[in-house]
């Protein structure tokens, strides 16, 4: 009836790592009826920390069968039975992938002893296998080996069967709820309460600390997508196991969700928000006067305390912007930091450069055009308000940008007039500007769908 399973692997991700050991314990609903265990050659190196944890040394696997060699036998032990494991998604993901690669289709009904224990025996400090076994008086022999852990899980499951007076196991099996895709420590009822609307969501650990901030056009759909088979990052067991609660804030629009997420990541610095934590190159345009009095531009990476005319996310962006200045204002690419030559720039010969690089154009004439070009950069740093739909009927959102810097966002009644920048600043919650937010706003302004942009 039940196949209670534990596996050992070369790592925590089914997409990248392989199984090194499998144990299956058959249970007929009353008692154990059979046990099967085998080492498996993963046909790759085993990290030293895995050997230290499990005691499985590469020498032990040298003559062990590969998974495809034991797939048929193992399939017979699992086929037609309810799959049971502690943190079932982890074991299931590895086995399903290995079976698929061996040519077997396998999609059993599943039970997770973490999720079941939280419902049948609520209130424990921890539902890890070791702590749960200790709480239930189960001794784990040969910890972190498939056989020992599978045997302990079978004993725990046996106790859950006997304590399940409310029929939780039967209801879990009977409903087509997709509950098994959720993290083991997250209540399905909490997931079901999530809205299908734009907003920012927060994953909390067991102590309530925020460990991840995300944004979505549809919060519920997005969170569900984190835990499907295609979501590789979120199938890593250490992330899934850390999630105990989910909270959210509605934003009305995807744009505000993007802006709020960027701010919250900078404010909270959650452990699993890796993308915005990575150190990125920042580039800027700087101006200075050379010994002859010509105003020049330089393109450099930003350092602490630097004050560029304008900053950019990449070298390519700053390079393209300066070339646009050269073309629009007939500037010299050499004096704009785009060429490093000992003689005149390449535009001088065809007459597109007036000769500042060769001393043939006066500083007054050249600097007048350069000053105009620099002014055009500053003009990009305007003040405006974006008006869009709100979080509910009868409400609209307000985003304010002052001199090119994000000032914040807020919500007002749909009939409230925003006629001036000061009107907008009175209703927003102040925000912190950064380059990520500027990039988000810049992308929106290139294609401002939905929102109304009012310039001041």
> Tens of pLDDT along 107-157?
899 999 999 999 999 999 899 999 999 999 999 998 999 999 999 999 999
| Dist. CA 435–CA 405, nearest whole Å | 10
The per-residue pLDDT for 278 is 53
Residue 232 has pLDDT above 70, yes or no: no
The per-residue pLDDT for 171 is 86
Give the pLDDT confidence of 438-447 residue by residue, as tens digits.
Answer: 878 877 886 7
Strand, coil or helix: 208: coil
For 194-204, what is the mean pLDDT? Answer: 96
The per-residue pLDDT for 302 is 86
If one compares 385 and 280, the residue with the highest pLDDT of the two is 385
Residue 275 has pLDDT above 80, yes or no: no
pLDDT interval class at 381 (50, 70, 90): low
Count CB-CB contacts under 10 A for residue 450: 11
The per-residue pLDDT for 274 is 75
**Per-residue buried b or exposed e for 183-210, using 16+ beta carbons within 10 Å of the residue's own CB:** bbbbbbeebeebeebbbbbbbbbeeeeb
The per-residue pLDDT for 13 is 82
The per-residue pLDDT for 282 is 78
User: Which stretch of 165-174, 274-283, 399-408 has the lowest confidence by average pLDDT?
Assistant: 274-283
pLDDT interval class at 403 (50, 70, 90): confident
Residue 451 has pLDDT above 50, yes or no: yes
Mean predicted lDDT score pLDDT of the chain: 90
Pair type for strands 429-430 and 405-413: antiparallel
The per-residue pLDDT for 237 is 57
Give the pLDDT confidence of 241-268 residue by residue, as tens digits.
Answer: 899 999 999 999 999 999 999 999 989 9
Residue 280 has pLDDT above 70, yes or no: no
- Looking up tokens 């250490």 gives 238
- Closest alpha carbon to 163 in 140, 137, 139: 137
Burial degree of 348 (CB within 10 A; 0-12, 13-18, 19+): buried
Residue 231 has pLDDT above 50, yes or no: no
- Closest alpha carbon to 213 in 285, 154, 276, 132: 276
Burial degree of 81 (CB within 10 A; 0-12, 13-18, 19+): middle
2-180 is a CATH 3.30.450.30 domain: no
Q: Could you say which of 3.40.1440.10, 3.90.550.10, 3.40.50.1370, 3.90.1720.10 is the CATH number of the domain covering 188-277?
A: 3.40.1440.10
- Closest alpha carbon to 314 in 280, 277, 340: 280
Domain with CATH 3.30.420.10 in the chain: 2-180
Domain with CATH 3.40.1440.10 in the chain: 188-277
What the block records as the tokens of 60 is 């032990």
Give the pLDDT confidence of 318-359 residue by residue, as tens digits.
Answer: 898 899 899 999 999 999 999 988 889 999 989 899 999 999
The residues near 23 (Cβ < 8 Å, ≥ 6 apart) are: 5, 6, 7, 35, 36, 37, 145, 146, 147, 149, 150, 151
What the block records as the tokens of 192 is 């079901």
User: Which stretch of 94-103, 232-241, 318-327, 417-426 has the lowest confidence by average pLDDT?
Assistant: 232-241
Pair type for strands 210-216 and 245-250: unpaired
pLDDT interval class at 307 (50, 70, 90): confident
| Dist. CA 9–CA 17, nearest whole Å | 7
pTM over 0.75: no
Spatial contact of 421 and 401, defined as CB atoms under 8 Å apart? no
Number of residues written out for the chain:
456
pLDDT interval class at 279 (50, 70, 90): low
| Dist. CA 98–CA 428, nearest whole Å | 53
Give the pLDDT confidence of 145-176 residue by residue, as tens digits.
Answer: 999 999 999 999 999 999 999 899 988 887 54
């Amino acid at each position: 009836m039940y196949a209670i399973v534990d596996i050992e692997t070369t790592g925590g991700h089914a997409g990248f790592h392989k199984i090194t050991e499998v144990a299956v314990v058959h249970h007929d609903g009353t008692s154990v009826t059979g046990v099967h265990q085998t080492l498996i050659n993963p046909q790759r190196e085993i990290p030293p920390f895995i050997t230290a944890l499990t005691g499985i040394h590469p020498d032990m696997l040298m003559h062990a069968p590969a998974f495809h060699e034991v797939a048929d036998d193992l399939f017979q032990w699992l086929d037609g039975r309810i799959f049971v494991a502690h943190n079932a998604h982890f074991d299931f993901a590895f086995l399903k992938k290995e079976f698929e690669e061996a040519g077997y289709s396998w999609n059993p009904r599943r039970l997770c002893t973490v999720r079941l224990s939280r419902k049948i025996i609520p209130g424990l400090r921890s539902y890890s296998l070791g702590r749960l076994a200790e709480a239930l008086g189960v001794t784990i022999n040969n910890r972190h080996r498939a056989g020992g852990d599978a045997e302990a899980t079978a004993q725990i499951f046996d106790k859950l069967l006997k304590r399940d007076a409310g029929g939780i196991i039967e209801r879990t099996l009977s409903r087509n709820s997709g509950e098994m895709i959720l993290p083991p420590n997250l209540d399905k009822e909490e997931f079901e309460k999530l809205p299908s609307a734009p907003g920012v969501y927060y994953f909390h650990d067991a102590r309530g600390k925020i460990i991840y901030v995300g944004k979505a056009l549809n919060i519920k759909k997005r969170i569900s997508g984190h835990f499907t088979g295609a979501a590789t990052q979120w199938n890593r067991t250490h992330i899934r196991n850390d999630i105990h609660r989910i909270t959210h804030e509605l934003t009305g629009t995807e744009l505000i969700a993007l802006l709020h997420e960027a701010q919250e990541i900078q404010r909270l610095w959650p452990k699993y928000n890796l993308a915005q934590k990575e150190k990125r190159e920042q580039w800027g345009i700087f101006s200075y006067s050379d010994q002859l009095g010509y105003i020049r531009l330089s393109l450099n990476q930003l350092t602490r305390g630097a004050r560029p005319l304008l900053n950019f996310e990449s070298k390519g962006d700053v390079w393209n912007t300066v070339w646009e200045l050269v073309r629009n204002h007939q500037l010299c690419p050499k004096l704009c930091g785009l060429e490093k030559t000992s003689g005149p720039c390449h535009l001088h010969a065809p007459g597109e450069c007036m000769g500042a690089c060769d001393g043939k154009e006066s500083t007054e004439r050249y600097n007048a055009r350069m000053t105009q070009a620099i002014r055009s950069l500053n003009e990009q740093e305007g003040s405006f308000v974006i008006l869009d739909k709100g979080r509910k009927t009868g409400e609209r959102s307000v985003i304010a940008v002052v001199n090119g810097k994000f000032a914040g966002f807020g919500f007002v009644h749909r009939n409230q007039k925003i006629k001036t920048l000061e009107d907008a600043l009175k209703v927003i919650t102040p925000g912190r500007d950064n380059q990520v937010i500027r990039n988000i706003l810049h992308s929106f302004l290139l294609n401002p769908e939905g929102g109304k942009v009012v310039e001041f």
